Structure formats: C-alpha cells, structure tokens
Chains A and B, each alone.
Chain A
Amino acid sequence: MDWFLANFATLVFYALAVVAVAGGVGVISLRHPVHAALSLLGTFLAVAGLFVLQRAEFLAAVQILIYAGGVMVLFLFVIMLVNVKTLPNESQFLRRLAPVAGALGVLLGVLVGVGAWAATRTPAADPAPLVQVAGETVGNTEAVGWNLYRDYLLPFEVVSIVLLVAMIGAIVMGRKELQEKEERP
C-alpha cells in the first residue's frame, strides 16, 4: 500500500499514456472516420489528464473545452455532413509501405528503449509548483494569465488575427456558389 501511494503519480501517468497511445493507434488503424474520431477523443482526454499531472490545470480545462468540445464536434459534424459512401481502398498502398513501416517501427523501438533507459538513469526531479508570480502565490490560471498578457501580448494579438483569417477562410470555402464560380470562364 505504501508503495502504491508513493508511486501513484507514476501509475496514473502510465494509465493515461496507455490510453493516449491506444487512441492514437485507433486513429490511424480504424477505417471508419467516426471510430477514428472517437479514439482521437480518448487521446485528447488522456492528454488533458497528463496536463493535470504536470500541474497545468488551466491547459487541461482548455484542452477539454477546445479539443473535446470544439474540434471533435466539428470533426463529427463534417463526417456526418460529408456522409462518405465509399471509403478509400488502402490495402494496395499499405502493402507497398510495409518495409518502410517495419524499419520505422524498429527505429521507434530503439528510441523508446534509449529514452526509458535514460529515464531510469536520471533521478526524478520534482521542481517547485509553478504558482509564484511577482513574489505572490497564485493559482495556475492566474499565473498563465500573467504570463500571457505581460510577456506574450504581441503573439496573443497575432494569434487573434490568425483566428480571424481562419474564420473568414472557412466561411469563404463553405459558400454554396463556389461550384458555379469554377465553371465560369
């Protein structure tokens, strides 16, 4: 029991990591887009849990709101809207790619092994929680807000312009008369 409590964070990490990787495998292996989208949802939620584990509570909330709430609904909405009758046939392409995939798998295994070995070599550092701003103890959300609006104000504004451009682009591409315009000389 003592061992269980002492290593609780590690156990939670491994559980969330397994869920995240399983979701990723599902995204690239499941043929139906809806199934792939639902496994991606599992990955998003697991990553949100990892954020909590790393003391980034604000980002965990943002992850669930934006990804699980916004992006995922958008994906599912478009999948329903498109209503693909025939899914692309991928067997031929996959067979040609098999040796490359094998080589990449071996490389990934080696890298993961080296990483795990390095992880056991380095002692687990536990730095102080990130709640110190200007000498005061504040919550994670307030600390991120201080950083965002004090040090990164210009990138923040640039990102807002990027969002505006993306919104205009999505509206322009989603218009009905796109097809008629293409046919005109």
Chain B
Amino acid sequence: MATSHYLVLSLVLFTLGVVGIVVRRNFITVLMCVELILNAANINFIAFARQLGDLSGQVFAVFVITIAAAEAAIGLGIIVALVRLKRTVNLDQVSVMEG
C-alpha cells in the first residue's frame, strides 16, 4: 500500500475542509470543517510514520487530536456565547470587529 494513496486522500479531505470553511456560513459547520482539516493532517502523519518507520509521527498525531479537542471545546463555547448575545450562528451577521 503506497504512501501516495494516503497523501491523495489527505489532500482531498483537506480541500473539502478548506472549501467548507470558505463556503459555509454556519459557524457549527465551519468548526466541523476545521476538524476535517485536522483529520487530514493526522492521515499524513500516520502515513509518513509508517513509511519512515518512525513512531514520532504517531506521537504528533496524538498531539493534533488533543489540540483538536481543545479547539472544539473553545469553538463550541464561543458558539454558545454568540447565540446568547446575538441569537444567530450566521457568520455574516457577526461583524462587530470588522470596523
């Protein structure tokens, strides 16, 4: 099983995540797309760990999963605060800091 297959899959998932962040206006969906991107990064780490015979890639994937969990907690906290203040999850209506 060539590593390139995993890299192509990771590329596709990453692109889907970026497109989702750009296209979607729902804050919750945008956060899901960030998780998609982090999963793509993890696939890369694991593929190269196998290819190079080095476990550091797997350790880094553990760190990525940790950061993803922290990011989800913070992001969903922001959503709850946002809904409490503005009654919306539409990113186009959240323009307080646009100046």
Q: Mark B14-43, 1 if CB is under 8 A from A, else 0.
A: 011101101111101101110110010011
How many chain B residues touch A (CB < 8 A): the figure is 70
- Kindly list chain B residues whose C-beta atoms are within 8 Å of the C-beta of A111: 8, 11
Determine if B6 and A50 form an interchain contact, defined as CB atoms under 8 angstroms apart.
Answer: yes
- Kindly list chain B residues whose C-beta atoms are within 8 Å of the C-beta of A125: 2-3, 51
Q: Kindly report which residue of chain A lies nearest to residue B93, judged by CB atoms.
A: A88
Q: Mark B64-99, 1 if CB is under 8 A from A, else 0.
A: 011111111110111111011100011110000000
Determine if A58 and B25 form an interchain contact, defined as CB atoms under 8 angstroms apart.
Answer: no
Determine if A56 and B4 form an interchain contact, defined as CB atoms under 8 angstroms apart.
Answer: no
In the complex, A137 has a CB within 8 A of chain B: no
The residue from B23, B32, B54 contacting A37, defined by CB atoms under 8 A apart = B32
Docked Cα-Cα span, A173 to B74, in Å, equals 8
For chain B, what secondary structure do more than half of its interface residues adopt (helix, strand, loop), or is it mixed?
Answer: helix
- Kindly list chain A residues whose C-beta atoms are within 8 Å of the C-beta of B65: 59, 62-63, 66-67
The residue from A115, A143, A147, A151 contacting B8, defined by CB atoms under 8 A apart = A115
If A54-B46, A54-B50, A82-B79 touch, whether A130 touches B55 (CB-CB below 8 Å) is yes
The residue from B9, B17, B69, B81 contacting A70, defined by CB atoms under 8 A apart = B69
Residues of A within 8 A of B (CB): 9-10, 13, 17, 20-21, 24-25, 27-28, 33, 36-37, 40, 43-44, 47, 50-51, 53-56, 58-59, 62-63, 66-67, 70-71, 74-75, 78-79, 81-82, 84, 87-88, 90, 93-94, 97, 101, 104, 108, 111-112, 115-116, 118-119, 122-128, 130, 140, 143-144, 147-148, 151-152, 155, 159, 162-163, 165-167, 169-171, 173-174, 178-179, 182
